[in-house]
Structure formats: structure tokens, C-alpha cells
Amino acid sequence: MVSVRDNIKAPSIPIRNVRIEIQTNAANPPNGTTNTRGLVKIQWAGRADTYRVWVDPLNTPEDVSDADVGPATALPTTGHRFHRFYDFKITVDDDGNLTSVDGSSPEMALDEYGTVTMSGNNRLNITLKTLAIPSPNHSARPNNTDISLIVIHCTGGAVIGPALNRFAARGGGASAHYVIDTDGSIIKMVNDDRRAWHAGRSRWHNIAHVNNFSIGIEIVNRGFSHKQYTEEQYLSLIGLLHRLRDAHPNIPLYGIVGHSDVALDSSMNLGKPRPGDPGRIFNWERLESLGLGIVVPDDITNDDFDLSMIYDGFFADNEGGILSSGSSRAAIKELQNDLRSIGYHVGASDGEYGAKTEGGVKMFQVHFSQDPAGDDSVRTNRYDGKVDLRTALCLKRIIVKLTGFWPDGSKYT
């Protein structure tokens, strides 16, 4: 008996319509196709030899099985999860018993696409790597809407199963285009041209409903500070970001943000709702070093700024001061304008340090607080919504790079 299931834990499901093909020149090889329970009976009697076994999930399009998951992985409109091809080697003895199984593949990378074990009664247990799980939770993008943003999330859980189940459930109300497992596997759930439901109440560059114009990527992690994202996840994410930007040229380099940058609370303010999504442990600097996302430039230092030229001279006049409500309106207005030019939703630039401004500052600080390299002079290092000199200079460095101008109006090259 051969059993074929997919590699998703909680739950793995049996895979039907998988062709098990024994590579042999002998007549009438004992091939077969799995039934709805993922099972197929193969007769080994009289077949003493060593064979390669080709495992072919028949509903997987040939051209995507060994390609990287990305925009080119088009999901069927109906149907089931689809899986990678796989092949392995078995040895059968004179009594028709399986004596050994070897999961390594001569085909490049195919051995990463499945596992195989042997158990009693000559049973082979095959798992196949999942490539895509179509989610029913998506809708049309509004007409004439370009995809111009990528939103990175964490699933909030330590394992992938619950997130996949929720996104795949009809009526689950949530989905993402891509989910990246802890081992770096990417699973596609919604085609890029459809609107996945990942960002909820949200706003970026003063445009509401971020789902309309974004791609959502969920990374398996609990968020906050429980456990670091894995190296495999960063590598997979970076590859996917490049593929997405190639396919959707209206996504600018800086158009890669976290859910925490765009999520609004029930009173439509930034601030509290998603500080852990993807959280301060997410290594934005890793992306920035490749020019991806909102970059804090490292060719501009804090010493490059004349403090009397920024924020109405607030930090020149108040050493160690905190820019907040009660500070000069001109300084607060400049702060609001800077946050707005990056994309944060801070309401009107009215010179009042209200809830929206404080929320925008908090979200900015969460994104730019992490400092894995230990160079504590360049990131905010706080996320309490209070603008100290470090937060102010981090913001200004980004603004100079983004606008191409220094605070005194001279050109940054």
C-alpha cells in the first residue's frame, strides 16, 4: 500500500489523483493512482529490483511544480491544494518485500519536495510539499487599481496549520496572497489580481482600504518578541519580493510595509492595533540593505543635521527634550508633514499633537526601532509615541532620502 498526504501539519490531508509510477523497462509496471483517501495498492511480488518511483500529483500544472512560488503560480479557480512532484528510490526483495527506501533525488531539488518512509506490511508513507491552497476569501480589486504596495504580516502563531485553515475556510473572513512557513516554504492562497483580505481597516498615503491595492504576505511567527523569524523565511521573502516587483512594476522599492504601518483602530487612528505585526523582531534592516522598503540611509549621519533647521529648532533649544503636545505648532506641523510624506496616516497637519499624530509616531517607531546590528545611534530605540532627538533624526534621514532634499533646501545626491 502507498499512502500520499501533504506536508501541512494540523491537518495534513490525503491527496487523491497522485500517479505512482515505477521507473522500469519491464512489462506492465505496477503503477497506480491514489484514491480519495490518498491510497493506492501496488503489488511488489515478483518485482525484485531497485527502482526510482515518480510521484506525480496529476492536478499540479507541469510548469509550476519546480518553480519558485510567486506571481506566475496561477491558482485554479476551483479545486484542491496542489503539490510538488517528488521522486525517490526503493528496493524490493525476492519475496516482494520492500527492503529500503531512499528519499534523495537525482533530480535537482526534488528531494526537498517530499518525504518518504516505510512501515509494516510494505507500506510507503509519502508526504508532498504543498504549493498552493486556494482560499475562497477574496474579491475583485476595484477597476483601474494598480498593485502598488506589499504588506508584510505575521500569522500570530508558531505553526502554519491554524493560519492556513483560517484562510482556507469559507466564511473565515481572512486571507493572504502568500504564507511563508518557518522552513521558508511559500504557499500561495490568492491570485495576485484578486483582492485578498489581509489588512482590514487600513490607510496608507491617505488612501483607505489598503487591500484594494496591495499584496499580503503572512509569515509564520507569533510576533512581538517570542521567537525570531528564521533565516529561511527571510531568504524566501526576499526572493518573493523581487518576483512580485518584477511582475507588478507599480510597486516602488519603498512600497513594502508592515501591517502595523497601515492598520487603523476602530476610531480610524494609527497606534495600538497591530504593534506586533510583523513586530519589532522583524528585521527591516535586512530588507533595507537591499534597498527594499522604507530605507534609513546609512550615508547620512545624525551629525549632518543642523538642529536649528529642523522642527522649528525644538531640539536645538531643548537638549534632551521630547516633542509632544504643547511644543510649538510649527514643529508639530513639520513632524506631521514628515510622517505623511512617508505614508503614515496622521490626519490633518494641524500643528496639534493629538491621538492620530501620536499613533503615527508610535507606528513609525515600531517599524524603525529594531537594531540588530547593535548600532544604537541610527534607529528610534523607543516606541512610546514620544519624539526624542533620535526619533526625530531617524525620521529626517528617511525624509532627506525620500524627497531628495536637505532641510535647508539643498539637494541630496
Residues taking part in catalysis: 218
Cβ atoms of 309 and 302 closer than 8 Å: no
* Nearest CB to Zn ion, comparing residues 83 and 259: 259
Q: Which DSSP string corresponds to 292-327? A: -SS---SSS-GGG--GGGSGGGHHHHSTT--B-TTS
Cβ atoms of 26 and 48 closer than 8 Å: no
Which segment (19-27, 270-278, 291-299, 325-333) binds Zn ion by CB under 5 A? 270-278
Q: How far is the CB of 277 from Zn ion (least distance, A)?
A: 4
- Among residues 134, 138, 123, the alpha carbon closest in space to that of 164 is found at 134
Q: How far is the CB of 241 from Zn ion (least distance, A)?
A: 17
* Nearest CB to Zn ion, comparing residues 70 and 216: 216
Residue 141 binds Zn ion (CB under 5 A): no
The residue within the footprint of Zn ion, chosen from 261, 277, 338, 388 (CB under 5 A), is 277
Distance CA 100, CA 316 (A): 75
Q: How far is the CB of 278 from Zn ion (least distance, A)?
A: 8
Which segment (132-140, 178-186, 254-262, 291-299) binds Zn ion by CB under 5 A? 254-262
* Nearest CB to Zn ion, comparing residues 57 and 258: 258
Residue 84 binds Zn ion (CB under 5 A): no
* Nearest CB to Zn ion, comparing residues 38 and 276: 276
Residue 153 binds Zn ion (CB under 5 A): yes
* Residues paired with residue 54 on neighbouring β-strands, in sequence order: 21, 87
User: Half-sphere exposure (CA, 13 Å, Cβ side) for 46?
Assistant: 6
Residue 259 binds Zn ion (CB under 5 A): yes
Query: Beta strand 86-92 with 49-57: parallel, antiparallel or unpaired?
Result: antiparallel
Which segment (68-76, 207-215, 253-261, 378-386) binds Zn ion by CB under 5 A? 253-261
Q: Phi-psi bin for 72: left (phi > 0), alpha (psi -120 to 50), beta?
A: alpha
Q: How many CB atoms lie within 10 A of CB 67?
A: 12
Q: How far is the CB of 259 from Zn ion (least distance, A)?
A: 3
Q: How far is the CB of 199 from Zn ion (least distance, A)?
A: 7
Residues in the site for Zn ion, rule: CB under 5 A? 153, 259, 277
